[in-house]
Structure 1
Amino acid sequence: MVIKEIFTPDIAITWLPWAVQYFFMMGLAYACVWVATIHLFSHAKPDDRLLKLCACLMLTAGIVAPIALLADLHQPLRAWHFYAQVRPESWMWYGAFLLPVFSGTSALFAWLLLRQYLPKHTAHQDSDWLNKIGQLLRFGDWNSDKFIKPIALITALSACSIALYTGMETMAIKARPLWHTYWLPPLMAMSALLAACGTLAVLNRLLKGYQQSTQDKLLLWVRASFGLFALCIIGWALFDKGSAPEAALLLETSPSWQLAAIWVLVTLAMLALMLAIRHLPNVAMIVVSLTAIHLAWGFRWIVLIQAQTDPKYGAGTYLYQLPWGPEGLLGIAGTFGLWLALMALVSELIRHTPAAKLAR
């Protein structure tokens, strides 16, 4: 019997959980832009509740995502190198220009959608400091409705560029076969759409002004996005010649990857069975929405973190333990906490009912 020893160095991962938060939050932001834009142009009388929820989510997630990205850069001030050097062969270099454009256009689009809910200036002195901030953010009482659709189109194009960039900056790394597949950008985009629709459904339930008609529309969006995501996974598994065989090889040798595969299949099967029910009860809809969010976040964890346990060179897999501090669990909780705080602040600012609705 011949015994061969294989030594594999334990190398720390380079993309931290901050990256998962960035990709997840940015996915929520650009997917909400798509939902709002498609709804605006496909309905003669748009659902104000749906547009309001989309605006809240794209605004808050669009603010938190770049913060998580800067945290993942380890040295945030080095971001200026993207602008000081020309690197047309790098997708991250393109992203340094595409990301600020999307942040600006999505914030403007969200503001136009939410502006009618901000408090107007009144003759009497208002002592509520939130009302004063809302009045300042309204920038006067002029009519801004005519700008919504043109800005929506510009923002939707910018959202497409961000979806492409966030997928391609990962896919472009040839040293990692699991990442180097053209199926990755559509998988990231469709999972982002699924998570965004699920989050909108949860927000519709939690925020004041719940509407069943809006929930019914979001259920259709969840079903469509889940179908597209499932088709992308099937296409990747059947037709990809590099990433899929590498994943199959890992499934044969790594218990952690076997557990991940079981989780994905069970979650997909559970969602498919629940979405097959024609009329979902409200409780079941919440379960479906939370499961969709969980699936999209977990998919990013597998792609961005667990994929780094597959060594670029050598044999075996690296061991990874989630730290408790800012580079691990605390960073994840802090990112979601910041998003919740921003969502609470925005919901307080837009708690007013537009005058046009009062007159109906």
Structure 2
Amino acid sequence: MDIKELLTPDFAITWLPWAVQYFFLIGLAYTSVWIAAIAVLWPGQRQQRLLTLCGSLIFSAAIVAPVALLADLHQPLRAWHFYMQLRPDSWMWFGAWLLPLFMGSGLLFGYLLLRPSLPTTATDRWSQIGCWLRFGRWSEKPLLKPVAVLAFLSACSIALYTGMETMAVQARPLWHSHWLPPLFAASALLAGSGMLVWLNFLFKGHNTNTDRYLLLWLRAAFTLFGLLLIGWALAGGKSAAEARLLLSHSPTWQLAAIWVLSTLAVLALLLATSRQPHWLLLLAGFAAVHLAWGFRWLVLIQAQTDPKYGAGTYFYELPWGPEGLLGILGTFGLWLALITLISELVRQTAMTQEGAA
């Protein structure tokens, strides 16, 4: 009997947890633009509370997401090479131009959404800062609709680019599927709606009408994500076939499948309730954010444990340092600092309106 040994080299993953943070945060940013733009452009849907929450999420997530992206590039100056070379065959090259455009239009749109909620009179240090950030007495209403259209289109381009730059990797069958970009977008919309539910609870001046409106977005995003997931499983081609192969022999992928299905089941039960108590809606919002972040971890990190060449799966252990847990916590910490700062600025207006009432 001849015995043959098969040796499979174990390569380190190239997309680090920074990439998960970038894909998650940029998803929060562009889906918040979608929700706010529809509220602005659709007749009768404008609600200042919702616009303030969307503006806060746009502003904070759109600033932190590129920080995580530069960290994932390992050397921030590598981004400069995208502008020094003509590479129309690369989605990352397109992204290098689309991302600054989204940053500009998204941050401008976020500022216009936030401006009506900034204080108009200075009573303390925070309100003084808020008054200064209004940059004089002028109306943002004439600019709101055209900037909303521009930001909406730019957000669509970022949703397309972030999905296509992953899908374009033909060496990984799990990624190379046309189902991936819409799955990323639908899960991002789910996370954005869930995060806005929590911001409505945490920001002063909680509004139940905003909760009901966001519940509609949650249900729509969950339905879309579920249908896309079923479509990928049934007609995903080589991507779905590779997933079934991994599920047949990899305990980690079996555990991941159990997590996805159980999270989907719990979220479906939470959203199926006709009358949503406040605590139940918060739980649904948390489950939606958790599902979207975990889905990106599964696609971007777990998928890299499936070797491009050879058999079996690679072993990945999350590092404790900046390229692992510390980087994840640091990114969320930066976002939390920004959203807290914004909440303090708009809190002054909420307190004034509460006193007037």
Q: TM-score range by the shorter chain?
A: over 0.9
Deviation at 1:72, TM superposition (A): 0.4
Deviations 1:39-64 (A, max 9, x none): 22224251111111011001100001
Q: Which letter maps to 1:317?
A: T
State the distance in 1 between where 2:317 and 2:288 align: 25
User: Aligned with 2:136: secondary structure?
Assistant: coil
Secondary structure at the aligned position of 2:349 is classed as coil
Kindly state the Cα deviation for residue 3 of structure 1 after the two structures are TM-superposed. Answer: 4.3
Judging changes above 3 Å, is the alpha-carbon distance between structure 1 residues 296 and 45 closer, same or farther for their aligned structure 2 residues? closer
How many corresponding residue pairs? 356
Which amino acid letter does the alignment assign opposite residue 250 of structure 1? L
Task: Give the aligned partner of residue 353 of structure 1.
Answer: 349
Alignment RMSD = 1.7
Gaps of 5+ in 2: none
Question: Within 5 Å, which residues of 2 pair with 1:61-76?
Answer: 61-76=61-76
Q: Decide whether the 8 Å contact of 2:18 with 2:71 is kept in 1.
A: yes
Give the counterpart letter for 1:63 in structure 2: I
- Distance, in Å, in 1 between the alignment partners of 2:117 and 2:190 is 27
* TM-aligned CA deviation for residue 337 of structure 1: 0.7
Contact 1:60 1:339 in 2 (8 A): yes
1:2 offset after TM fit, Å?
Answer: 5.5
* CA positional deviation for 1:135: 2.5
Which runs of 5 or more structure 1 residues have no equivalent in the other structure? none
Q: Which amino acid aligns with 1:117?
A: S
Cα deviation code 1:135-172 (max 9, x no counterpart): 23211111111110110010000000000000000000
User: Would the aligned equivalents of 2:19 and 2:69 in 1 still touch at CA under 8 Å?
Assistant: yes
- In structure 1, the residue corresponding to 2:347 is in which secondary structure? coil
**Structure 2 residue 114 is the aligned partner of structure 1 residue 105:** no
Letter in 2 for 1:37: A
TM norm structure 2: 0.96
Note if contact 1:120-1:141 (Cα within 8 Å) is conserved in structure 2.
Answer: no
Cα distance in 2, alignment partners of residues 109 and 28 from structure 1: 15
Once the two structures are TM-superposed, the CA of residue 134 in structure 1 deviates from its matched residue by 2.2
In structure 2, relative to structure 1, the CA distance for the partners of 1:279 and 1:356 (3 Å cut) is closer
Shift of the alpha carbon at 1:272? 1.1
SS in 1 for 2:348: coil
Query: 2:119 maps to what in 1?
Result: 119
In the alignment, is the contact (CA less than 8 A) between 1:119 and 1:131 conserved in 2?
Answer: yes
**1:156 alignment partner in structure 2:** 152
Kindly provide the amino acid, as one letter, of the partner of residue 262 in structure 2: V
1:171 touches 1:179 (CA, 8 Å); kept in 2? Answer: yes
- Cα distance change, pair 265–129 in 1 and its aligned pair in 2 (3 A): same
CA distance in 1, matches of 2:220, 2:271: 10
Aligned equivalent of 2:172, options 165, 170, 176: 176
SS at match of 1:133: helix
Which residue is equivalent to 1:79?
79
Q: Provide the residue aligned with 2:90 in structure 1.
A: 90
Whether 1:296 and 2:274 are equivalent positions in the alignment is no
What's the secondary structure of 1:236's corresponding residue?
Answer: helix
Shift of 1:114: 0.9
Residue in 1 that maps onto 2:314: 318
Deviation for aligned residue 1:202: 0.8
Look up the match of 1:27.
Answer: 27
Shift of 1:287: 1.0
Instruction: State the secondary structure of the residue aligned to 1:350.
Output: helix
Deviates more, 1:270-279 or 1:145-154: 270-279
CA contact 2:121–2:127 (8 Å) conserved in 1: no
CA contact (8 A) 2:203 2:347 kept: no
Q: Distance in 2 between matches of 1:182 and 1:168?
A: 8
Q: After superposition, where does 1:144-293 map in structure 2 within 5 Å?
A: 144-293=140-289
Aligned to 2:5: 5
